Amino acid sequence: MVGAVALFAASISSSASYAQSGPFNGLAGVWSGAGTVTLDDGSSERIRCRATYAVGAGGAGLNQSLTCASDSYKFDLKTNVVAEGGAITGSWSESSRGINGSIQGHGSSGNIQVEASAPGFTAGITVTTHGNKQSVVIRAESQFKAATISLTRS
């Protein structure tokens, strides 16, 4: 769920030159950090997160794994996305809740905006990357309302 957030958190390009300035530029590697998750009852908790981004298919594909946990909340998100031009499409799954769905949106160098959806769940995800710093903001209407995560590349 929250993971659907995340991650999108990367974008991919369709050519080597586009990859140089595309939305997935600079994402490969391991990132970690912390943030806050807000639940449907209005409560919020601090979360710790770790993300791994792998760019492949000549720069046109991205696999992402994002795990976040607090004392009482955890999600394990996996995404597989591709970029063509400025359009981003793909799929996501969250293993602790056994849900999966699709991702679609757009991205440009350092900025990605996607919507992750599944039956009964929709989340808007914004990922902004500046060098080795990344901000992930997720907004949803479900048991999980929002997450704000700051990551730094290891």
102 vs 76: CA distance, rounded Å: 16
pLDDT score for 20? 43
Determine which of 6-15, 43-52, 138-147 has the lowest per-residue pLDDT on average.
6-15
Phi and psi torsions of 39, nearest 5°? -95, 170
Higher per-residue confidence, 135 vs 86: 135
Q: Inform me whether the pLDDT recorded for 143 exceeds 60.
A: yes
Could you give the domains of the chain?
Answer: 2-153 (2.40.128.20)
pLDDT score for 18? 36
Higher per-residue confidence, 135 vs 9: 135
Do residues 72 and 143 lie in contact, with contact meaning Cβ atoms separated by under 8 Å? no
94-129 per-residue burial string, b: 16 or more CB within 10 A, e: under 16: beebebebebebebebbebbbebebeebebbbbbeb
pLDDT score for 39? 86
